[in-house]
Amino acid sequence: MIIHRRITEHLQKMLTKFPIVSLTGPRQSGKTTLLKTAFGHCKYFNLERIDIREMILADSIGFLKDTGPQVIFDEAQNLPELFSYIQVVSDERNTTGQYLLSGSQSFLLNNHISQSLAGRVSINQLLPFDITELNSLNNQDLAQTILNGFYPRLHDQKIGPEDFYPSYLQTYIERDIRTLKAVENLQTFSRFLGLCAGRIGQVLNLTSLANDTGIAVNTAKSWLSLLESSYIIFQLQPYFRNFNKRIIKSPKIYFYDTGVASSLLRLIQPEILRTHFLYGALFENLVISEIIKCQMHSGKRPSVYYWRESNGVEIDCIIERGNGEIIALEIKGGQTFNVDYLRNLKLFPRGDKTDKIKKMVIYTGQNTSNILGIQVITWEEFSSVITQII
């Protein structure tokens, strides 16, 4: 089953503007499948294979000239020596659309790009499926959607999340973490990862996180960067255009995929998830991560934030659109609408920019409405309106 990825058209467009296009994303997010299906006319080399790396290293310039343009180098971070040669050959040709570079370790790949290929590369990210790509989610139970997550292999091979994610996380920790960072105690790192899952939607307190893990604060900071660079978590930054308000300035922790987070929390049954104290936070994570994925898959830079004033007024999600409009979005896991859902939105902002602010509530119930200029939508409607709000 090949599902069309929304980022394909953007990549094709970038190949007409840049000599090199890079595509990073988490392991098993579908990068190789996308490149092989959408760019089947390109020659393909997987640089995880030692024999291919040795063949290229034997005569790098000669290899690049013989293979010609329109070449895919998958897991390109495994051969850092290649980047300087690509620079030389691509500059000599001085044409667009020469190379596609992919990798599941964005820190290493982007580091090599910044050293040798800066200004020549369009940098893009492919995350697991977004909800606009998976029509099968339309009739799926919300709790099961959260547990399943969006990794392609799970959906393609009909693998249960209780079977897929433990193996995925073990491979991630044993392969990527060992490669990216000299983590001495992988068991402690696994505990750190689980503690991050328990803090979904919370303002980051590095000292508390470090103490609970039993590591130094600087180590916690380093490990968070590691999780970000390998697309496991992201930090949602506060919105600083504060309309003269005092606001909280620390980020919040979220996971790119709710299936990963649910597995770390040992949640495998929908009925247990629905009564879990983190159900609302996981639903919030689902909505925010989908917005970010859809932005990235459209070739946009993520422009998503949260708002919290020191007096307790908080908005779950702030989307800054290219036309200057701001969307303030409250995310509620309840199935029954409550007027309290509107309280913080009515307080945001107290200033002179309300004409550029669109206010919305997304909840898990069945009824939509428009109350006091605030649009109330259901989760089922979200997939149809998400492309209109990003």
Task: Kindly state whether residues 160 and 73 are assigned to the same domain.
Answer: no
Helix, strand, coil % over all residues of the chain, rounded to 5 = 45, 20, 35
Task: Kindly state whether residues 67 and 139 are assigned to the same domain.
Answer: no
Mean pLDDT of the 242-253 span: 71
Question: How many angstroms separate the CA atoms of 188 and 194, rounded?
Answer: 10
pLDDT at residue number 113: 75
Residue 231: CB atoms within 10 A of its CB come to 25
Question: How many angstroms separate the CA atoms of 269 and 162, rounded?
Answer: 9
The rounded mean pLDDT for the chain is 90
- Asked if the structure places residue 48 within a domain, the reply is yes
Please say which residue of 125, 153, 169 terminates a domain: 125
Task: Kindly state whether residues 243 and 273 are assigned to the same domain.
Answer: yes
Task: Kindly state whether residues 338 and 196 are assigned to the same domain.
Answer: yes
What is the band of 242 on the pLDDT scale with cuts at 50, 70, 90? low
Alpha carbons within 13 A on the beta-carbon side of 182: 0
Question: How many angstroms separate the CA atoms of 146 and 239, rounded?
Answer: 26
Task: Kindly state whether residues 230 and 260 are assigned to the same domain.
Answer: yes
Please say which residue of 125, 145, 169 terminates a domain: 125
Assess whether the previous peptide bond of 349 is cis (omega < 30° from 0): yes
Please say which residue of 102, 125, 148 terminates a domain: 125
Alpha carbons within 13 A on the beta-carbon side of 157: 10
Mean pLDDT of the 254-283 span: 96
Mean pLDDT of the 232-251 span: 78
Nearest one of 314, 308, 300, 259 to 389, comparing CA atoms: 300
Q: For residue 104, give the CATH number of its domain.
A: 3.40.50.300
pLDDT at residue number 138: 59
Task: Kindly state whether residues 232 and 263 are assigned to the same domain.
Answer: yes
Give the tens place of pLDDT for each residue, 44-89.
999 999 999 999 999 999 999 999 899 999 999 889 899 999 999 9
Task: Kindly state whether residues 79 and 161 are assigned to the same domain.
Answer: no
- Cα angle 86, 92, 96; round to 5: 75
Q: Which residues have a Cβ under 8 Å from the Cβ of 219 and sit 6 or more positions away?
A: 210
Domain count for the chain: 2
What is the band of 347 on the pLDDT scale with cuts at 50, 70, 90? confident
Nearest one of 283, 291, 316, 287 to 387, comparing CA atoms: 291
Task: Kindly state whether residues 152 and 72 are assigned to the same domain.
Answer: no
Inter-axis angle of helices 82-93 and 60-67, nearest 10: 50
- Asked if the structure places residue 2 within a domain, the reply is no
Task: Kindly state whether residues 207 and 112 are assigned to the same domain.
Answer: no
pLDDT at residue number 108: 66
- Asked if the structure places residue 37 within a domain, the reply is yes
Structural domain of 285: 135-389
- Cα angle 209, 214, 217; round to 5: 55
Question: How many angstroms separate the CA atoms of 148 and 145, rounded?
Answer: 5
Give the tens place of pLDDT for each residue, 296-343.
999 999 999 999 887 778 999 999 988 888 999 999 999 999 999 999
Task: Find the range with the poorest average confidence among 19-23, 101-105, 290-294, 366-370.
Answer: 101-105
Indicate the DSSP class of residue 376: E
* For residue 354, pLDDT beyond 60: no
- Asked if the structure places residue 130 within a domain, the reply is no
DSSP string, 176-188: IIHHHS--S-HHH
Task: Kindly state whether residues 75 and 139 are assigned to the same domain.
Answer: no
Question: How many angstroms separate the CA atoms of 340 and 314, rounded?
Answer: 12
Query: 27-55 burial, b if ≥16 CB within 10 A, otherwise e?
Result: bbbbbbbbbeebbeebeebebeeeebbee
- Asked if the structure places residue 264 within a domain, the reply is yes
Question: How many angstroms separate the CA atoms of 75 and 245, rounded?
Answer: 46
- Asked if the structure places residue 1 within a domain, the reply is no
Task: Kindly state whether residues 142 and 121 are assigned to the same domain.
Answer: no
Task: Kindly state whether residues 186 and 96 are assigned to the same domain.
Answer: no
Residue 103: CB atoms within 10 A of its CB come to 24
Q: Are 184 and 190 in contact (CB under 8 A)?
A: no
- Asked if the structure places residue 192 within a domain, the reply is yes
pLDDT at residue number 229: 86
- Asked if the structure places residue 3 within a domain, the reply is no
What is the band of 177 on the pLDDT scale with cuts at 50, 70, 90? confident
